[in-house]
Each structure stands twice: as structure tokens, then as C-alpha cells.
Structure 1
Amino acid sequence: MCAEEVTGRKRLWLLTEKAGGREQVWALLLETVRSHYDHLDRLASDVARLGYEKAAEILQTRMPTDGRARSGDLGEILASELAGDTLGYRIPVKRLRFKDGRNMALRGDDFIGVVISQHGQLRLLKGESKSRQELAKTTITEAREALDRDDGRCTPESLLFVADRLLDSNDAADQALGQALRDEIGLKSLPTGRIDHMLFTLSGNAPPPSLKADLDGVGDDRNQYSVNVRVPDHGDFIGSVFLEAAKLGNL
């Protein structure tokens, strides 16, 4: 269920589970989590060559075992999927595939979305995600500080990472987008109004009043999205997701 509040260019979304909803999306959720760590066609090829158990070992090499790392990763995964499916941004790079340690957090923006308008104009989404059993004001403040960093623009290192991955593609459209992102790092020509922000939170508790207060306090010069997804059994839910996603019998 979703409660939405819209004020100008600001949107606050408070999402809670429907009764029985988890069971309906469970298989899709597991597949989505796997896809953020590896290409699904490669996993299927691993299964065909090696069988489910050995193929699962390959996938598990990328997936975190630490509870805090799992929590952070799942928040980033859900935020990326929401930005793509609901807001129409393309998330061109699944960052978690490029971690140099399964339990290490990646630096930089948690996710970057892109949109190219019919007139060829580039729009970016800079996103921060936080996952906590007990979401508090300090966490919301940390996320907002990260969004405001670099004058509200995507951090150059994060944007360059996405650009380079696109330029490595064999697709001409991806290469053109990658070049546009590299140019933006140097030119900084994109106006504030075309760099949107999303603050995404996954929590066991209901969001504190500071979530709305934070959104109320930001400027109206860009699209601002503030989202909370509440899962009361936060820790158990995350543990179950990663336990089951690491198995490939239902791939």
C-alpha cells in the first residue's frame, strides 16, 4: 500500500506491505536480487555446465554474508528498481556487480538514473538509500548531506564510473550516452532543474516525522522524491531474501 503526498516538485511516498503481497512477489524479488550481482543468462549458463550447487557457489562469491552489508545492498536494489519501474529512469549500471569485496560498501552515489527526452535533453537522478531496523533522524540527515554534496550534482567519480561502463558497451546508443555523461563531468552544463534527487529508506519502524520535515525543508528547484518502505520484520526479511536468492534451484 502506498500513501502519497505531493507538494510542487516534491513527492513523499510511504509504502507498506499488503497482506499476502510478499508471497506474490517473492520469486520475482529473488530473481531481481540475483540480477544485481550477476547477469541472469550467465547464471543459467553456469547451471547448465556445472549444476545448481556449483553455479550457486559462483553467485555467492559476490553476495554479502554480513548482515549490515546485506541490508545496505537490498536498500540500494529496491531503490534502483523503484526509480526504474515507477519513475521511468534508466539505471544503466548495476553497481553491485563491481564490488571488490562482497561485504564492502561501494563509495559514491548509491544509484544514478538517466532519462533522455524526446528532444534529446539529458536528465539525471541522484539517489541515496538507507536501510535500518530503526530509522532515525541522524540517518535521514546523512542521506540528505550526501545528496547535497557536489552542489547537488552526481559525484564526478560515480558519474565517470557509469560513463565508462556505457562506453565499454557494443551498443552505439550506450556509447553516446556514456560520452554525454563524460562531457557533463567536464562541462557541468546540466541545470539544477534536470538533476533530480531521491532519498530512499527501508526500515522496520514507521518513518519518523523527520523524513517529511527533511523533504519540506529542501528547495523546489528540482524534483525531489522521498520514499520509505516499511517491513516490520526488517532483519528476518533481509536474511530470508539473501538465503533464498543464493540458491539457484528456482532460477
Structure 2
Amino acid sequence: MAQFDDWCISVEAPVGNNRLRVITGQTSNLGVGIQATAAVVPTHYASAEQIARALARLGKQAAAAQIESLLPTTKQIRSGDLAEIYAAEWIDAHSGGYRAPIKRLRWKDHRNMAMRGDDVIGIFQDPQTHRLQFLKTEAKSRVRLSAQVLTEARAGLDKDGGLPSAHALHFISARLLELGNQPLADSIDDALLKHGVPPQSVRHLLFTFSGNAPDALLTASLQAYSGPITQWGIGLRVEGHAEFIGAVYDRVIANANNS
């Protein structure tokens, strides 16, 4: 986990019927944040089994080279990937029961290309009915967050009638089958092909990672939304945003070489 509570402070407030949380990295604890983040970043690009197999077969140097070969090298792609990683980590730890069932970045076409489609989809399964609820997520990372960026995120959330796209859900289902999680894959297929995905089973998460304060921008975005789907706005702020990202990826590479 990214262990947000160990290096950030969080403040939550309602915005109408919606929810806003601002998570601020504490300057004195950013080293903790870099270490905690670097520990989880490799798992979003490769499975533990894949890394362990490379280590067992080829040795430490080759395993480290494999990890480094999967990491993006451009600042823009690293920034976008880290926002998606943080969104998935937040969902798993702090969303009240939703889980991001796959780590989507493992299936990138190229390490320096962004993936298309819904950034992250969190899923909650009712233990009695086994019906699914979805948390459709757009994750944005900018040194300086702007209203235009949130407008772009809103457009992504509102696509497909505000629902998770069928393509994204089919993708998750197929990956879950490959990973051996047939029950959840079947439940996703049932939602798509048997029950449908009603708007009341969906929430939206607008997740931002920025160097400037996101409070006012996220509040305005939530207030402007007039649709039927409950909205969550989560803003992670880290001063020295670009330097922090660089330090995280440098630490990932250093950890791989020293493990």
C-alpha cells in the first residue's frame, strides 16, 4: 500500500451530496512517501511471480533490469502512471470496500505510452446478492492543476452515460480469468450481459495528483455536476511534484538493484 496516512494529512468535507478529500504530503515526511510509493510501484507493472521467476532463473541483475525495462522513462508518462497507481492504492485502502481488481499498467502496449479507456474501475461485490457496484475513476496528474484538466476528467467520467465502458469491463473480466479469479469475472460478465449496469450502481471518483492546492478546483467541479451519479473528489497534493515523481522512480530502480 502507498501508506498515505504515514506521510500525509487528510481533510474531508461534504460538497452537497458528494464527497471531497484533500490529502497533503507533509514536507518533513516526503522521504517516507517516496519509500512507500517506490515499494508498490513495481507491482503495478509486473506481478510478484514474474519478478521472483526472473530473480530465480536469471539472478538479481537480470531481475533488476527487467523491472527497469517496464518503467516509463518520460516525465509525462511517469506522472500519469503515478496518478493512476495512487488512485488504485487509495481505492484499495480507503474507499470503504471497493477494490481495484487488476493492476492495468501490467498490460501497457509500451512503457512510454499512456493507456486508453477508463483509468481505474473499483468494484464492490454485495456479499448477499453478489451484484456489483462500480467506482469509475479518472486520474489526473499535473504540476499545476487547472480547471481545464478537471473539465477533461469530467468528460471522461461522463462518457458512456457515466457508466464504466463495456470495453473496460470486458478487459477486466478477461484479465481476471487469466489470473484465476473466475467468480469475479463471471459476476462482471453477468452485470454486462444479464443484469445491466444501472446508474445507481455506479459512483465516480475524480482523483488528482498535483503540486498546487486542489481544494477550490475540485469543489467547483463537484458543485458544477448535476447528474444522477454520486461523486467523490480526491486531491493528493505534493509540493515539488515533478521532483517527487523523479525521486520515486529513482528509488524503484535503486531498490531493484539493491534487493
TM-score normalised over the length of structure 1: 0.92
Corresponding position of 2:170: 160
Q: Verify the 8 A CA contact 2:162 2:229 in the aligned structure 1.
A: no
Paired residue for 2:39, among 23, 26, 31?
Answer: 31
Q: Which amino acid aligns with 2:167?
A: E
User: Hey, what does 1:71 align to over in structure 2?
Assistant: 79
Query: How far, CA to CA, are the matches of 2:89 and 2:236 in structure 1?
Result: 13
**Stretch moving more, 41-50 or 211-220:** 41-50
Paired-residue identity, %:
37
Distance in 2 of aligned mates of 1:61 and 1:163: 27
Query: Take 2:152 and 2:27, find their aligned partners in 1: how far apart are those partners?
Result: 32
Q: What corresponds to 1:118 in structure 2?
A: 127
Shift of 1:137: 0.6
Match of 1:168, as an amino acid?
E
Alignment of 1:1-251 (within 5 A): 1-7=9-15, 9-87=17-95, 88-119=97-128, 120-170=130-180, 174-187=181-194, 189-207=196-214, 209-219=216-226, 221-247=228-254, 248-251=256-259
Query: Is residue 9–residue 222 contact of structure 1 (8 Å, CA) maintained in 2?
Result: no
Q: Report how far residue 55 of structure 1 moved.
A: 1.2
Q: Tell me which moved more, 7-16 or 155-164.
A: 7-16
Secondary structure of the 1:184 match is: helix
- What whole-Å deviation, never above 9, does each CA across 1:2-57 have from its counterpart, x for those lacking one? 12112454111111112432233443311210100011243234234433322111
Do the aligned partners of 1:131 and 1:202 also contact (CA within 8 Å) in 2? yes
User: 1:211/1:8 Cα in 2 relative to 1: closer, same or farther (>3 Å)?
Assistant: closer
- The DSSP-based 3-state class of the residue aligned with 1:118 is coil
Larger mean CA deviation between 241-250 and 46-55 belongs to 46-55
Give, in whole Å, the separation in 2 of the partners of 1:188 and 1:148. 21
- The aligned amino acid for 2:70 is R
Write the deviation string for residues 80-117 of structure 1: whole angstroms up to 9, x where unpaired.
10011001211111010000100001110000111111
Query: Contact (CA 8 Å) 1:109, 1:155: kept in 2 or not?
Result: yes
Q: Is the 8 A contact 1:34 1:245 kept in 2?
A: yes
Q: Which secondary structure state, in structure 2, belongs to the residue aligned with residue 61 of structure 1?
A: helix
Contact 2:102 2:175 in 1 (8 A): yes
Structure 1: gaps (5+ residues):
none
Kindly report the root-mean-square deviation, in angstroms, between the aligned alpha carbons of the 2 structures: 1.8
Distance 1:18 1:45 in 2: 37
Letter in 1 for 2:173: A
**Comparing both structures, which one devotes a greater share of its residues to helix?**
2
Q: Structure 2 vs 1, CA of residues 175 and 34 (structure 1 numbering), >3 Å: closer, same or farther?
A: same
Contact 2:15 2:222 in 1 (8 A): no
